[in-house]
Amino acid sequence: MRDTRESRLLLVLLIAIAFALITVDIRGGEESPVDGARQAAATVFGPVENGVAAAVDPVGNAIGAVRDSGNRHDKISALEQENATLKARLGSDDRTNSRVRQLDAMLKNAGAGQYGIKGAEVIAIGAAQGFSWTVTIDAGANDGIRRDMTVLNGEGLVGRVTTVGPDTATVLLANDPDFTVGTRMEKTDELGFATGQGSRPLSVQFLNGKAKVKAGDRLVTFGSSKDKPFVPGVPVGEVVRVDPSGGALTRTVYVKPYVGFTKLDIVGVVVQAPREDPRDTVLPKRPVKTKPKPTPTVTVTVQPNGDLVDGSGKVVGNINETPGGDAAGDAAGDQQGNAQPDNAANDQE
C-alpha cells in the first residue's frame, strides 16, 4: 500500500473507530454491544489458537524442561559441594573419633584440676615464626585469651601463650629450649625446673642435689605467682633417666613429657585458675599391677619299677613308656630330690 494522503486518513479513521469501540465496550461492561462480536471472533479464531498452542507447547515444554534441568543440576552441584565441605570438616571417622577422645580427655583433666579453660584448635605450626617450637591456635583476644596463660590438653602441659591477636594466639611449646617451668615431684614434693630440649626429653634440675629420684617418678607444674604463666598441678611428664650429681649442687633428671608435641590438635587455654592447688589429682592413674598367678606344681617320684607316682600315690605313668624315658625320670628325680635310681638298680640285681 502506497503512503498517500488518503491512506493516512484511512489509518487515522480506523484508529479512531478502534478507540471508540474500546470506550463503548468498557462502559457497557457485561452488556457491551460488542460482546456478540467478541464471541463470534472467539468462535472463529479459537480453534486456530488451540492448534497453534498444540504445536508450540511441546517446544515450550522442552525448553522449560531443559531450564528446570539446569536448575536442578545447579542445586545438586551446590548440595554436592556442601556435602564435600562438611566431609572435609569432619574428616574420616577415625579422625573424628580421635578428636572426640582428645576433647573428652581434656575436659576430664580440666574438671580434675578445676581449671576454667577455653577450647581451641591448632591451625598452624611455628615454622613461619622462626625455629622455635610454637603453634598457632584459633582463639585470641576476642575469646578472652591473654599473654602468659597456661595451655594444656588431655595429656598434660602443652605450653604457654606468648603472642595474642584478635582471633589467634601463639603458644610456646614446653619442649622449646627457651621454655622453663617450675616442677614438683609427686608425693615427695621435691622442686625443680624443667627446660625443653626439642625432640629429646625435658631436662629437670632439682634444687635438692640429694633428692631421691628414680625412673617412673612423675612431675606436675609447681605454679607461678598469680598463676601466670603457669597454674599448679598440670602433669608434665615421667622420669626416664637420672644423672648422678657428681658433687654438683643440683642433679639433672630427664623427663619424658606426657604431651606429643608433633601431633597437637585440640588444646585448652586456662582462662581461670583453680581456687586450690590440685596437687597430684590431675595425674593419670597408674596401671594396677596384677600379681602373677602361681603355677601349680606336681610332685612326681620314680618307683623302682619305673612307675611315676604323684603326691597322692597315684601312678601317672611309667618311665619306660614315657618318650625320653630315663632323661625324664632323672629330671624329675633331680627336681624333687626323692628319686632313687641307684637303689632301684641294686634291687634289680
Cell numbers standing for residue 186: 609427686
> What's the confidence (pLDDT) of residue 67?
41
100 φ, ψ to 5°?
A: -65, -45
> What's the confidence (pLDDT) of residue 284?
87
Q: Write out pLDDT tens, residues 10-21.
A: 777 777 776 666
Buried b (16+ CB within 10 A) or exposed e, 37-64: eeeeeeeeeeeeeeeeeeeeeeeeeeee
Predicted confidence band of residue 200 (pLDDT cuts 50, 70, 90): very high
Q: Please state the rounded mean pLDDT for residues 331-346.
A: 44
Smallest CA-to-CA distance from 152 within 274, 288, 286 is with: 274
Question: Can you tell me the distance from the alpha carbon of 266 to that of 112, in angstroms, rounded to the nearest whole number?
Answer: 18
| pLDDT at 334 exceeding the cut of 50 | no
Q: Please state the rounded mean pLDDT for residues 277-288.
A: 88
> What's the confidence (pLDDT) of residue 339?
42
> What's the confidence (pLDDT) of residue 158?
97
Q: Write out pLDDT tens, residues 204-251.
A: 998 887 888 999 999 999 999 889 999 999 999 999 998 876 656 667
The sign of the torsion formed by the CA atoms of 28, 29, 35, 38 equals positive
Range of 5-9, 41-45, 169-173 with top mean pLDDT = 169-173
23 φ, ψ to 5°?
A: -65, -45
Are residues 181 and 230 in contact, defined by beta-carbon separation less than 8 angstroms?
yes
Report the phi/psi class of residue 230: left, alpha or beta, with left for phi > 0 and alpha for psi in -120 to 50: beta
Q: Write out pLDDT tens, residues 97-148.
A: 888 889 999 999 999 999 999 999 999 887 544 568 999 999 999 999 999 9
> What's the confidence (pLDDT) of residue 325?
45
> What's the confidence (pLDDT) of residue 294?
72
Predicted confidence band of residue 92 (pLDDT cuts 50, 70, 90): low
Percent of the chain topping pLDDT 90: 41
Average pLDDT, the chain: 76
- Reduced to 3 states, what is the DSSP secondary structure of residue 346? helix
Name which of 36-50, 276-290, 304-318 the model is least confident about: 36-50
Are residues 192 and 221 in contact, defined by beta-carbon separation less than 8 angstroms?
no
Predicted TM-score of the model (pTM):
0.58
